Amino acid sequence: MYPFPPPVYGTRDVLLIAGIPGLLLAAWASWLLRPKRKASNWDPAVWAMGSNFVIFCVGVFTLALYRYLKVGNLPYALLVELILSALVTLALLVRVWRQKAGLWMAFVNLIPLAVFYLWLFSPSMIHPMEAARRSQCKNNLKQIGLAMHNYNDVYRTFPLHAGGAPPRSWRVELLPYHEQKALYESYRQSEAWDSPQNRIIGQTLVPNYICPTAKLLQGVSDETGAVWTSYAVAVGAEAIFEANRTRTMREIPDGSSNTIMVVEACGQRIVWTEPRDLPLASTPLGINLPGPAEFQSDGLMSSYHRGSTQVLLADGSARWLSDETSPEVLKQMLQVNDGAPEEF
């Protein structure tokens, strides 16, 4: 089994690894210069700033190489670079100190490097864009909730999870409420979702149906070009979406603010036009459970927001749930009439 989400390394890690050639070059240059001139008080500072500039420059190429070709072993390379950085900095500091520049001046040289690495490992640099992507994912869920309720206002019910013959996904039914009426009208309802014509529709990206973090980390489509969705519903006798019908708002005794309607299911790799969702009775209850392959999860909820997932409640609001949420609490939230959980 493979962990979900898989280990992924961001811009910070790649920029650090990209600095290895720069650090090696700096160490070599420092050694060559050693017998030819007296050490300067600022040798370590100049070396630190210069090598980190190289980190940034080379990092752009390395980042692209890692992201698109999936090459490199970042954890080990990161460790090598940090050790090398520490050793070279220490060697330069000792050299300055031995030439009577003064111990205090040697430590002053540490300041630029310390400031750089404090900034590099700060939360704002480690996850510079994840907060924005998480917010966009939450907004996607809210837009789906708004579309669900607009559909309900027109038809007095929520869409079936897979209604019609041939079955159509609820994601297709909601297209007009996502300002995708033309795409909806292009979908041939008399044909299966994977017919040649409808397969072309499935290769169209609908922004509200994919989490931006999933888009970044796993891509948007399979080998045929069919676009995945990040969102699915639980289907079961006690869920909002039953096998052949959908409950109305009045049929949610636990309350719409306590009952889950849509979940993140990035690890299920469902094509957005595919009339497939998550059977509550047979899908393991859990968040980010391991899967049979990389980028796959067997659990009912799976998200690339590490340590958590987001869900849409029946009242149209979106909530954050920790990976540590117990299966019992998840079951209570997914079923409509077994009482609201005390906390989640």
Q: Give the DSSP letter string of 265-298.
A: BGGG-EETTS---EETTTSPP-BS--BSSTT---
For the segment 283-335, what is each residue's pLDDT rounded down to a tens digit?
999 999 999 998 999 999 999 998 899 999 999 999 999 999 999 999 999 99
Q: Is 136 exposed, middle or buried (0-12, 13-18, 19+ CB in 10 A)?
A: middle
Residue closest to 312 by CA, chosen among 197, 142, 191:
142
| Domain locations in the chain as residue ranges | 11-126, 130-334
Look up residue 6 and give its DSSP letter. P
Look up residue 178 and give its DSSP letter. G
| Per-residue pLDDT at 72 | 46
For the segment 231-255, what is each residue's pLDDT rounded down to a tens digit?
999 999 999 999 899 999 999 999 9
Residue listed under structure tokens 């979406």: 241
Q: Mean pLDDT of all residues in the chain?
A: 80
- Confidence label for 69 from pLDDT (cuts 50, 70 and 90): very low
Q: What mean pLDDT is predicted for residues 149-174?
A: 96
| Per-residue pLDDT at 131 | 83
Question: How many helices (H) does the chain have, and how many strands (E)?
Answer: 13, 10
pTM of the complete model beyond 0.75 = no
CA angle, 265 then 270 then 275, to 5°: 110
Flag whether pLDDT at 257 surpasses 90.
Answer: yes
| Per-residue pLDDT at 117 | 58
Flag whether pLDDT at 44 surpasses 70.
Answer: no
